[in-house]
Amino acid sequence: MKPIKFSWKNLCLPISCINNTNQKTTKTPSKERLLLLSRQTSVPSKVYLSDFSNSTISLNDFSNSFLIDIHIFTYEELKMITQGFSKYNYLGEGGFGEVYKGFVDDSLKTGLKAQPVAVKALKQDGGQGHREWLAEVIILGQLKHPHLVNLIGYCCEDDQRVLVYEYMERGNLEDHLFQKYGGALPWLTRVKIILGAAKGLEFLHKEEKPVIYRDFKPSNILLSWDFSSKLSDFGLATDGSEEEDSNFTKRVMGTEGYAAPEYLSAGDLTTMSDVFSFGVVLLELLTARKAVEKYRSQRGRTLVEWARPMLKDPNKLEEIIDPSLEGRYSVEGIRKAAALAYQCLSQNPKSRPTMTTVVKTLEPILHLKDIQNGPFVYIVPVAGVNEVHDIICKDDVKVVKEETEKEAKVFPRHLPSRRNRRKHKAMRSRAVHSDTTLYKSLGTSLYSPAKEIAQRNKKNI
């Protein structure tokens, strides 16, 4: 379900981001607590979204007291690192706003690590606003985890609301899973991605006040160069502190096709709502079909309605598995993943597993070895990613080059149309690799934690 569009400037905002020392405010318990936290610089204290609900204190007044390694940027600084938000640095656009690539280093802010960044600017006439921006700052500014995207800093200046994140080289899962051209994601890569996302959700749910993500979907799962996954876009998340605000909890927000049935019907929002959304994404990984597409001749049926009845039937399971995998997967792993998706997609929230159980179920699947060998390939983008370029097998590149030259000699007169030329150009910018080649290049580190690798190496010595 798409968020309701509104202009954040028309809202009565709970806080002001611009310091105003002359403004008189009425002290509330929430404000007193925040002022107390601002003085406790030695030991950061946890702050929740509800602490801001009745406060007029500025976020900039006390941000350093509880945010972890977060930098405050001016709008001019962000314009400089993105070259004036140039179209050449444009990465994409979501519900929050447009995203641009930039680069920061110590010369911009003292102690700032030199690195590429993703700069996300709030679209003022979009469907999200100040509350969503604030949620990202509060949640990602305090929670750090290998499977949560790292928030580097923010800008809150006049009408501008901007967030600065670490740059994720491979973009989001949606682009890889549903791409029209190129090879499909290998089975083990899919398991690695969904396991990382599961660990991110588990971490959020284990907080003292569980953080409900509320918008788990492929486009919010970002991928690094080695396909490590991180959750992003926390604008719709809540830390469980909004329970007293019935207008907030009962207002259904999120994306169509991923929301839990009890949330859609009654506005009941719990961690089990995230588990249902996780089950939808897991089903998408198994089938390579989108959650809201129409299936077969039965109109109006979603992916869950169409595929869930077949998840527990071994005879029908093969019919819904992504055909582009061409059987190159662990049969046992597929069955276990399908059974897990079936449980997560239960209509009864109490019948769904916790994210801790989900992680424990997925981890063994990553190490199953009953995968058929064959010519199954996946696509490695070369341009702009030095790390990936370094692992390219020379023999593979040579074969691709020779085949291209051979085709040019055989069909010299058959000039492609303008549309086909663009498609061929995109294909030539990629190199083809098998799952086996990836193992040879990166070793088991692609799919196994570093500690496990070290232990195995010790045993082999």
Q: What is the CATH number of the domain that holds 137?
A: 3.30.200.20
- Residue 237: the pLDDT is 92
- Is residue 152 within a helix (H) or strand (E), and if so which, with residue range? strand 151-157
Q: Is the pLDDT of residue 334 over 60?
A: yes
Helices 355-365 and 271-287: crossing angle in degrees, nearest 10, is 30
Please count the other Cβ atoms lying within 10 Å of the Cβ belonging to residue 450. Answer: 8
pLDDT band at 292 (very low <50, low <70, confident <90, very high): confident
Q: Is the dihedral of CA 437, 443, 444, 449 positive or negative?
A: negative
- What CATH code is carried by the domain that includes residue 281? 1.10.510.10
151-157 vs 71-72, strand pairing mode? parallel
Residue 311 structural domain: 173-365
- Of 91 and 11, which is predicted with more confidence? 91
**Confidence bin at 45 (pLDDT 50/70/90):** low
Rounded to an integer, the average pLDDT of 49-58 is 58
Chosen domain end from 150, 166, 182: 166
User: Which of the residue ranges 90-94, 437-441, 456-460 would you say has the lowest mean pLDDT?
Assistant: 437-441
* Same domain, residue pair 197 and 143: no
Residues 288, 324: Cα–Cα separation, whole Å: 9
Among 365, 393, 416, the domain-final residue is: 365
- The pLDDT-based confidence of 371 (bands split at 50, 70, 90) is confident
Q: Kindly state whether residues 301 and 445 are assigned to the same domain.
A: no
What's the rounded Cα separation, in Å, for the pair 150 and 117?
10
What's the pLDDT at 314? 87
Catalytic site includes residue 396 = no
Is the residue at 2 inside a domain?
no
Say whether both 140 and 122 belong to one domain: yes
Question: Which whole number is the average pLDDT over 297-309?
Answer: 78
* 372 part of a folded domain: no
One domain, residues 213 and 235: yes
Query: Which CA distances in Å does 354 have to 169, 273, 357, 403?
Result: 30, 11, 5, 50
- Please name the residues in contact with 386: beta carbons below 8 A apart, sequence gap of 6 or more: none
**Which of 1-5, 83-87, 216-220, 372-376 has the weakest average pLDDT?**
1-5
Per-residue confidence band for 331, with pLDDT thresholds at 50, 70 and 90: very high
CA 88 distance to own-chain centroid: 23
Flag the least confident range among 171-185, 186-200, 219-233. Answer: 171-185
- Residue of 51, 215, 233, 239 with catalytic role: 215
**Amino acid present at 384:** G
- pLDDT of residue 374 exceeding 70: no
**Do 60 and 141 reside in the same domain of the chain?**
yes
Residue 98 shares a structural domain with residue 234: no
Do 185 and 334 have their domain in common?
Answer: yes
Per the annotation, does 120 bind a ligand? Answer: yes
Which burial class, exposed, middle or buried, applies to 233 when counting CB atoms under 10 A from its CB (0-12, 13-18, 19+)?
Answer: buried
Residue where a domain terminates, one of 126, 142, 166: 166
Q: Is 88 a member of any domain? A: yes
How many angstroms separate the CA atoms of 203 and 147, rounded? 9
For residue 160, what is the enclosing H or E element? strand 160-166
The percentage of residues in the chain with a pLDDT greater than 70, rounded to a whole number, is: 63
Domain check: are 204 and 302 in the same one? yes
Q: 43: buried, middle or exposed (CB in 10 Å: 19+, 13-18, 0-12)?
A: exposed
Q: Which residues pair with 156 in a beta bridge?
A: 161
Q: Does 3 fall in a domain? A: no
Considering the domain architecture, whether residues 330 and 202 belong to the same structural domain is answered as yes
Query: Which of 50-59, 311-320, 417-426 tops mean pLDDT?
Result: 311-320
Say how many domains are in the chain.
3
| DSSP-derived secondary structure letter, 67 | S
Residue 164 three-state SS: strand
| pLDDT surpassing 80 at residue 286 | yes
Distance, CA of 132 to CA of 235 (rounded, Å): 4
In this structure, the answer to whether residues 140 and 180 fall within a common structural domain is no
Highest mean pLDDT among 134-138, 245-249, 251-255, 395-399: 134-138
| Residue 273 resides in a domain | yes
Is the residue at 44 inside a domain?
Answer: yes
Q: Are residue 230 and residue 349 in the same domain, yes or no?
A: yes
CA atoms lying within 13 Å on the CB side of residue 90: 8
Residue 161 near residue 130, CB atoms below 8 Å: yes
Please report, as a single letter, which amino acid is at residue 447.
Answer: Y
Stronger pLDDT, 105 or 297, i.e. the higher one: 105
pTM across the whole model = 0.73
Is 371 inside a domain boundary? no
Phi and psi (nearest 5°) for 93?
Answer: -145, 140
Task: Decide if 256 is inside a domain.
Answer: yes
Residue 422 has, within 13 A of its CA and on its CB side, a CA count of: 2
In terms of domains, do 13 and 106 share one?
A: yes
Query: Considering the chain, what is the average pLDDT of its residues?
Result: 75
